[in-house]
Amino acid sequence: MSAKHLSRPMSLTEHLARVLKEASLIVVIGCCVFMCIAIWSYNPQDPGWSHAGYQPNVSNWAGATGAWMSDILFSFVGMGAYIVPILILWPAFRFMWRRHVGIVDAVPFFMLRTTGAIFLLLPISVLSSIHVSNQVLGYPFTAGGLVGLALSDLAVSLVSVPGATVVALTVMFFGLTLFMETSWQRLLEWIGAIPFKVLGFIVGLAQIRIPMPKLSVPKPRVQPAPVKEPTAKTFKTATESMSARKREEPAFDQVPDVDLTSFSKNDLKITLEEEPIAPVNPPAFEPVKQEDNPASVSDERVVMPNVVEVVEAPESKVVPFTARRMVEDTLTAAKKHLKIVPLSETHTPIANTDLDLEGAGKISQATREASITLPSVEALLDPPEMKSEQGYTEEQLEHMSRLLEEKLKDFSVIAEVVEVNPGPVITRFEIQPAPGVKASKISNLARDLARSMAVSSVRVVEVIPGKSVVGIEIPNESRQIVHLSEVLSSSLFTEAKSKLTLALGNDIAGNPVVTNLAKMPHLLVAGTTGSGKSVGVNAMLLSLLFKATPKEVRLILVDPKMLELSIYEGIPHLLTPVITDMKEAAGGLRWCVGEMERRYKLMAKMGVRNLAGFNDKVLQAEEEGVPLRDPLWNASDYGLPADEPAPCLETLPYIVVVIDEFADMMMMVGKKVEELIARIAQKARAAGIHLILATQRPSVDVITGLIKANVPTRIAFQVSSKIDSRTILDQSGAENLLGHGDMLYLPAGTSIPNRVHGAFVSDDEVHRTVEAWKRLGPPNYLDEIVSEGSEEGSFSAGSGGMFDDEQDALYDEAVAFVTESRKASISAVQRRLKIGYNRAARMIETMEAAGVVTPAGSNGQREVIAPPPPRD
């Protein structure tokens, strides 16, 4: 948001209100000055309200009116009369200072201060009445006036003089707190800062006397770039702009020797907390003549991260400079209230416990040796752009914080901005709502806040782990693009051992977000059209292509739009050509179910619990020179002699099924797809089969309860409504994203989504990577995958017919064969009818359901129950 947005022209009503406000203040000031004159020139002998007067002339400077006014005040509140003008003036000034507060908004504050004023005034009268003699003063009644007299009589009779004094003092401070609306803590801090101010003044005087060389100060920056290795002897600070510091700065060795080692760490923490600092390498501060090379010193400077923390006492050599800087910082910090801490320091990166940084190394090493070298990220992807500072200036942040508070107040939410965290794409304002304000109330205001703050969207983060504040995320004026190459070259990605490592993008603080599909174990990606889904899916696919060889990961890509994934046609990772036909897509899923069952059986025979274990065992046996034989092999199934040895087992690749628009599939193929997906999702994890489902229609008929229950990891790109966001994430928030790859990533088993700025990858980059892989070898397609679907015969939308195996054209023939041969063997049926393994397996299962054969026994054999068909 630009500054011009912030300072929009006033409407006529606002203008009138402002003029009226200022005119009233002038009247109030006038009245108070008059009252002051009347009170200070009070003469008990002047005529007034309490008596007729002892002298013919009025001596009060404010005339007879003043004499009457002061007499009334002294008669009622005695000495309290002196503070009455202050009690009127102070609130009037505060009302003026708060320029954006309307009269209605000011009513609660007015009531608060009036109550405070009464509770302040009355005890002063009571105390005066009890402790001050009226003989010298000569007020009409007592030193505390009639009110003081009445209340003090009552108080003394109830709690005697000391008790009444304590009660009156307590009430007085209570009233003062309400009236001043100030925090005693701040007051104490302010008083505590006075010695530093004095010290600063003395140092300033000394500077004037000693001519010093100039030192240029770098231009303020909102987001300090993180420094790799902060020196232990420096102070870590946040934020920006030493813009106010325009005066000349001396070289450290010429600064008057002020011993500041006596400052306590706590002092520094309190006073320097918000002040940006540009720590300096001591050698860079040799006296430099600005005229010669003004930039040379500032170039040496490094902006350090935030929040003052004295790690170690400064070395004596740098004490004078540091000390002077501390004093300056103290002075500047005293003026500021807004705490600005870059997100890079406050935001906790997403936990990467899933990344398999250690495990699974054995297999990968072994498989990798025998396989092709992976293409290089640097050679194929565009390098990341140089990051430039794109956040708001410190003044803008200050202004926006106040504006945010006011806008919230317009919506009857009293809240205070306690911290601002600028990030590369968004800036997070942490607000502390008043007690009793519900976070959901603030969430519901997201759109109104975006409108009133003139930004494209505002996201409300109801829960920030470890804090009691609510976060308001406001987009920066221009956002940084996260390039995939940046995330792929991060150590998090390169060190991850899992072959299914996915690079998603950067989190709000700019840290890479890398996840493991193997642990997810299935992923649902949804978002409206143009929100960045396809780019996101491409980034995930490229992550796999830069991490795994075809021996390690195979892909089945389903692309009904024939647009997005067809680009990958021909890469050696594909198990089948990119599927664009829904029939074949359903067949692909059925093949996956069959493959899953087969893998489960294999793993059971081998006594391992998952694919990694299976592959380890196979490799180990290969290394020992005794390769394992396929335990499921049955020579007779293939018409071979029984003594034919089974083939050797090979490692099994992970299989990733990516469906780009699975709503289309649901519409065209019907409910059965949902069941198939659920079946794969429930069991396929151990078998190494993983699903990535993408849709641009996040409605309940596409993302059904069954799918949600089985696909625990979700990514929501921008959606058009709260309802869509709830359908994907079970909570709102995605409707307030920025689009263009901005996403909410909800890992399995958590309820707090993480905002991630998705990695961008261009079509060119995808092309280059695909070409590189194509050059490394042709794909080895399995024909049975798509034939599984098409050979099933017709299937009508929503009928579920294609999965009803009793409707299978060959089912009757299969039953006849089984009952005649009395052999309920899948491979026998497969061989006899010349069909795929999965189709045969399903027929046998259908026969089991129909009572033709028994369930498989412990040895895997089935009995045929039904009699053979009668012969003609």
Ligand X SMILES: Nc1ncnc2c1ncn2[C@@H]1O[C@H](COP(=O)(O)OP(=O)(O)OP(=O)(O)O)[C@@H](O)[C@H]1O
Binding residues for ligand X, rule: CB under 6 A, are 481, 527, 529-535, 696, 740-741, 758-760
Bridge partner residues of 716 (DSSP)? 526, 744
Q: At what angle do helices 103-131 and 84-97 cross, to 10 degrees?
A: 160
CB-wise, 331 or 514, nearer to ligand X?
Answer: 514
Q: How far is the CB of 741 from ligand X (least distance, A)?
A: 2
Q: Is 427 annotated as a binding residue?
A: no
Please answer whether residues 62 and 37 qualify as being in contact, where contact means their C-beta atoms are separated by less than 8 angstroms: yes
Q: How far is the CB of 235 from ligand X (least distance, A)?
A: 36
Q: How far is the CB of 754 from ligand X (least distance, A)?
A: 15
Q: Is 228 annotated as a binding residue?
A: no
Q: How far is the CB of 492 from ligand X (least distance, A)?
A: 18
Q: What are the Cα distances from residue 627, in Å, to 435, 498, 552, 614?
A: 69, 25, 19, 13
State the Cα–Cα distance between residues 304 and 238, nearest whole angstrom.
7
CB-wise, 272 or 728, nearer to ligand X?
Answer: 728
Q: How far is the CB of 409 from ligand X (least distance, A)?
A: 35
Q: How far is the CB of 482 from ligand X (least distance, A)?
A: 6
Q: Is 527 annotated as a binding residue?
A: yes
CB-wise, 443 or 534, nearer to ligand X?
Answer: 534
Q: What are the Cα distances from residue 518, in Å, to 201, 497, 654, 656, 684?
A: 64, 11, 9, 10, 10
CB-wise, 492 or 743, nearer to ligand X?
Answer: 743
Nearest to 425 by CA among 466, 476, 474, 370: 476
- Integer distance in angstroms from the first to the last C-alpha of the chain? 87
CB-wise, 534 or 825, nearer to ligand X?
Answer: 534
CA angle 852, 855, 858 (to 5 degrees): 145
Q: How far is the CB of 534 from ligand X (least distance, A)?
A: 3
CB-wise, 320 or 532, nearer to ligand X?
Answer: 532
Q: Is 532 annotated as a binding residue?
A: yes
Exposure string over 90-128, b if 16+ CB within 10 A, otherwise e: bbbeebeeeeebeeeebeeeeeebeebbebbbbbbbbbb
Other CB atoms closer than 10 Å to residue 52's CB: what's the count?
6
Nearest to 87 by CA among 178, 151, 187: 178
Q: Is 836 annotated as a binding residue?
A: no
CB-wise, 589 or 759, nearer to ligand X?
Answer: 759
Q: How far is the CB of 764 from ligand X (least distance, A)?
A: 13
CB-wise, 193 or 502, nearer to ligand X?
Answer: 502
Please answer whether residues 863 and 824 qualify as being in contact, where contact means their C-beta atoms are separated by less than 8 angstroms: yes
Q: How far is the CB of 387 from ligand X (least distance, A)?
A: 14
CB-wise, 733 or 758, nearer to ligand X?
Answer: 758
State the Cα–Cα distance between residues 237 and 618, nearest whole angstrom.
55
Cis peptide before 521 (omega within 30 of 0): yes
The values of phi and psi at residue 471, to 5°, are -100, 140
State the Cα–Cα distance between residues 813 and 826, nearest whole angstrom.
14
Q: How far is the CB of 99 from ligand X (least distance, A)?
A: 39
Concatenating the DSSP letter of every residue in 772-839 gives HHHHH------THHHHHHHTT----TTT-GGG-GGG-TTHHHHHHHHHHHT---HHHHHHHHT--HHH
CB-wise, 764 or 812, nearer to ligand X?
Answer: 764
Burial class of 292 by CB neighbour count within 10 A (0 to 12, 13 to 18, 19+): exposed
CB-wise, 333 or 525, nearer to ligand X?
Answer: 525
Q: Is 534 annotated as a binding residue?
A: yes
State the Cα–Cα distance between residues 766 and 783, nearest whole angstrom.
26
Concatenating the DSSP letter of every residue in 452-477 gives HTT-S--EEES--TT-SSEEEEEE-S
CB closest to ligand X, residue no: 741
Alpha helices in 722-762 (DSSP H): 722-729
Q: How far is the CB of 658 from ligand X (least distance, A)?
A: 13
Q: What are the Cα distances from residue 242, in Å, to 61, 217, 393?
A: 51, 8, 12
CB-wise, 39 or 694, nearer to ligand X?
Answer: 694
Please answer whether residues 347 and 425 qualify as being in contact, where contact means their C-beta atoms are separated by less than 8 angstroms: no
Place of tokens 């409108």: 451
Q: How far is the CB of 533 from ligand X (least distance, A)?
A: 4
Bridge partner residues of 515 (DSSP)? 502
Please answer whether residues 340 and 240 qualify as being in contact, where contact means their C-beta atoms are separated by less than 8 angstroms: yes
Burial class of 248 by CB neighbour count within 10 A (0 to 12, 13 to 18, 19+): middle
For 592, the token pair is: 């996956």
Instruction: Output the furthest CA–CA distance in the chain (Å, rounded).
Output: 145
State the Cα–Cα distance between residues 28 and 105, nearest whole angstrom.
20
Q: How far is the CB of 549 from ligand X (least distance, A)?
A: 27
Q: How far is the CB of 573 from ligand X (least distance, A)?
A: 21
For 96, the token pair is: 């003026």
Nearest to 365 by CA among 620, 543, 601: 620
State the Cα–Cα distance between residues 477 and 582, nearest whole angstrom.
43
CB-wise, 422 or 536, nearer to ligand X?
Answer: 536
Q: Element (H or E) spanning 622, and its range?
A: helix 611-623
State the Cα–Cα distance between residues 587 and 665, nearest whole angstrom.
12
Write out the binding residues for ATP: 527-534
Binding residues, as ranges, are 527-534
